[in-house]
Amino acid sequence: MARTVGSSGPKTAQSIREAGLRLIYRHGYEAMSLRQLGTEVGIQSGSLYNHIASKQALLVEIVLDHMQTLIARLDAALDGVEGPAARLEAFCRLHLTYHMTRRAEVVIANMELRSLEPDNRAAAVALRDAYETRLTDILREGAACGQFHIEDARVTTFAIIAMLTGICMWYRPDGPRSQEELIRIHTELAMRSVTGG
The full set of domain ranges for the chain reads 9-52, 56-195
Which pLDDT score is estimated for 82?
96
Which pLDDT score is estimated for 35?
87
Query: Are 75 and 131 contacting, i.e. CB atoms less than 8 angstroms apart?
Result: no
Which pLDDT score is estimated for 4?
41
Which pLDDT score is estimated for 7?
45
Q: Please tell me the distance from the alpha carbon of residue 93 to that of residue 186, in angstroms, as a whole number.
A: 9
Task: State whether the Cα torsion 43-49-54-58 is positive or negative.
Answer: negative
Q: How many C-beta atoms lie closer than 10 Å to residue 50's C-beta?
A: 11
Walk along the chain (197 residues) and give the pLDDT tens digit of each residue. Answer: 444 433 456 788 888 889 989 999 999 999 988 888 888 888 877 788 778 888 899 999 999 999 999 999 999 999 999 999 999 999 999 999 999 999 999 999 999 999 999 999 999 999 999 999 999 999 999 999 999 999 999 999 999 999 999 998 899 999 999 999 999 999 999 999 999 86
Which pLDDT score is estimated for 6?
38
- 9-52, CATH topology level: Arc Repressor Mutant, subunit A (1.10.10)
Q: Residue 146, class by beta-carbon neighbours within 10 Å (0-12 exposed, 13-18 middle, 19+ buried)?
A: exposed
pTM, whole model, 2 decimals?
Answer: 0.87
CATH architecture of 56-195: Orthogonal Bundle (1.10)
Q: Please tell me the distance from the alpha carbon of residue 65 to that of residue 105, in angstroms, as a whole number.
A: 9
